[in-house]
Amino acid sequence: MPDNQTPSDVLSALAGLLSTGGVSLVDLTRTLSPDDPTIVMPPEFGQSWPVRIERISRYDGKGPAWYWNNISFGEHTGTHFDAPVHWVTGRDLPCNTVDTMPLSPMLAPACVIDCTDACARDPDHLLTREAILAWEAQHGRIDPGCWVLMRSGWGRKTGADYAGLRADGAHTPGPDADAIRFLVEDRGILGFGTETIGTDCGQAAHLSPPFPAHHYLHGAGRYGLQCLTGLEALPERGALIFAAPLKILAGSGSPLRVLALVPGA
């Protein structure tokens, strides 16, 4: 902030930029819909509910002048946020639930790593430390406290193509164990976001440790975002992500509206 500008000036300037399009808002959220696939666990484990929308009334006998619905879904349904308590590695951390976590992570900058071409060639593509270092050579070092978003092209997919389910489980891209450990421990990121169903790849049960993104992120008190869409509208760096999960009592995560503030054209 320049010396002659107060925080109040900066907020006024931002409000002005938002109204003139100098800064625009980009929606990174999938529509919460019964048709959108949710994660499928092996049958011996419990399952996350998909979205269910049940009409209470729509200007009819159940409510002549009003329309409203009852809804139900799992905490990890649709575009959603993962809190540290979601994984066993984060279960004893302080303020590890969506209702107790600090507010500051809910508005934070993002670095976007485009892996679209590699993911189109191979749905099991893994983001590596080498690829992150190559990104940094081009765009600069990843700052502590920022989101790293893995752009895979999955945000444009729907249905079976999006879920990537085969007989041996899901085939979707994600980070390898070394890459996510590097981002958490050496770069101090706030969290990791993906366009797929999960911060980990579809075959992450076979990695070491299993589900390395969940293992390292949540064990270090960091966060996850998944089922994002629209990442192609974000610059490699310079966007601010607004991601505020629902304040669910002791919640492990929640569906949410994720918005990005990006510099206008």
Closest distance of CB 254 from Mn ion, Å: 10
Nearer to Mn ion, 179 or 228 (CB): 228
Catalytic residue among 80, 86, 125, 214: 86
Residue 195: name the closest of 224, 238, 160, 169 by CA.
224
* Cβ proximity to Mn ion, 123 vs 251, nearer residue: 251
What is the binding site for Mn ion (CB under 5 A)? Answer: 76, 82
Least distance in Å: CB of 199 to Mn ion? Answer: 7
The distance of closest approach from Cβ of residue 180 to Mn ion in the complex, given in angstroms and rounded to an integer, is 15
Residue nearest to Mn ion (CB): 76
CB 74 to Mn ion: min, Å: 9
Asked if 86 is an active-site residue, the reply is yes
Closer residue to Mn ion in complex, CB, 116/199: 199
Instruction: Name 194's bridge partners.
Output: 150
Q: Which is nearer to Mn ion, 82 or 195 (CB)?
A: 82
Q: Write the DSSP assignment of the chain as a string of letters.
A: --TT--HHHHHHHHHHHHHHTSEEEEE-B----TTS------TTS------EEEEEEEEETTEEEEEEEEEE--TTSSSEEE-GGGSGGGTTSTT-STTTS-SGGGEEEEEEEE-HHHHHH-TT-EE-HHHHHHHHHHH-PPPTT-EEEEE-SGGG--HHHHH-EETTEE---EE-HHHHHIIIIIS--SEEEESSSSSS-TTGGGSSSSSHHHHHHHHTT-EEEESB--GGGS-SEEEEEEE-----TT-SEEE--EEEEEE--
Minimum CB–partner distance for residue 179 and Mn ion (Å): 19
CB nearer to Mn ion: pick between 82 and 176: 82
> Active-site positions?
86
